[in-house]
Amino acid sequence: MRTAARIRPKNKVELAKMRESGRIVGEILAAVTAMIKPGVTPLELDEFAEGHIRGRGAKPSFKGYHGFPKSLCISVNEEVVHGIPGRRPLVDGDVVTVDCGAILDGWHGDAARTYAVGAVEPESLELLRVCEGALMAGVAEMRPSRKLGDVSRAVEAFVKRESSFSVVRQYVGHGIGRALHEEPQVPNYYEPGFPFSELVLEVGHVFAIEPMVNAGTHDVRVLDDLWTVVTADGRRSAHFEHTVAVTEDGPQLLTLP
Ligand code: MG
Ligand code: MG
């Protein structure tokens, strides 16, 4: 039987560095809030983000990652994650996910949020509310002596309690630090026997918690560009993410401005 390997916690110096890279990511997602409107293109958002990241002496985590061509992942409507920013303007009623990563002094930050463009129909607003609530329900479990499975269970339970939406299973959260994606995987659903579900959380553990919630089926597929993940049924999807540290005082969001 496999037992979960220990995940090395970050020390105080490392956490301070991750707070700095996380802050840059948080600044971008906050600034994007004011930029999201009908007519703006994902490419314009990407150019803004790359300029801001480089202006702060950091580098985009995503650009060149397994060949990804841009600094942000931007996913519109039925796109779940990993959309490539392009020139098609956002239109009134869209929902758009901006996922941003930055590396500063060797340490990564990673966060995402889904924004409403103009006047959005009620189901989509509800989708955003439920997905962000699920993220925060998971974050609340990021405390010493909780188990990783408690985080997964809390995310899934929130979505089930609040809605008939579904949690994406094929993409998960992750450890983060000197690498953008480290062990453990952090699923947004609970399954007994998942490799790290029994991992006991320690002060200094830093994980990217990132539920993706679909209006319809949880099934997804990848488009011909080999990046963009869309819902199998064409209904909409939302995605919220923070890089979160376990501290003595409870969870700390590192990706805030
Ligand atoms: Mg991300
Ligand atoms: Mg991530």
Distance 233 CA to ligand 2 centre (A): 24
Distance 89 CA to ligand 1 centre (A): 22
pLDDT at 1: 43
Distance 112 CA to ligand 1 centre (A): 5
Q: Residue 81 pLDDT > 70, yes or no?
A: yes
Residue range 133-155: average pLDDT? 98
Distance 243 CA to ligand 2 centre (A): 8
Q: Tell me: the pLDDT tens digits for 47-79?
A: 999 999 999 999 999 999 999 999 999 999 999
Distance 145 CA to ligand 1 centre (A): 26
Distance 168 CA to ligand 1 centre (A): 15
Q: Residue 246 pLDDT > 50, yes or no?
A: yes
Percentage of the residues of the chain whose pLDDT score is greater than 70: 98
What is the fold of 10-253?
Answer: Creatine Amidinohydrolase (3.90.230)
Distance 81 CA to ligand 2 centre (A): 10
Distance 1 CA to ligand 1 centre (A): 32
User: What 3-state class would DSSP assign to 26?
Assistant: helix
Residue 251: strand pairing partners: 246
pLDDT at 147: 97
Q: What gap in Å lies between CA 74 and CA 80, rounded to an integer? A: 9
Distance 111 CA to ligand 1 centre (A): 5
pLDDT at 4: 55
Residue range 123-127: average pLDDT? 98
Give the sign of the dihedral formed by CA 115, CA 121, CA 127, CA 130.
positive
Distance 101 CA to ligand 2 centre (A): 8
Contact 20, 247 (CB under 8 A): no
Q: Residue 201 pLDDT > 50, yes or no?
A: yes
Q: What gap in Å lies between CA 233 and CA 5, rounded to an integer? A: 37
Q: Which ligand is nearest to the CA of 185?
A: 2
Residue range 28-39: average pLDDT? 97
Percentage of the residues of the chain whose pLDDT score is greater than 90: 96
Q: Where along the chain do its domains lie?
A: 10-253
Contact 152, 197 (CB under 8 A): yes
Q: Which ligand is nearest to the CA of 186?
A: 2
pLDDT at 102: 98
Q: How confident is the model at residue 195 (pLDDT cuts 50, 70, 90)?
A: confident
Q: Which ligand is nearest to the CA of 29?
A: 1
Indicate the length of the chain as a whole number: 257
Helices (H), the chain: 12-35, 42-55, 122-139, 148-162
Residue range 128-153: average pLDDT? 98
Residues with CB under 5 A from ligand 1 (ion): 99, 110, 112, 241
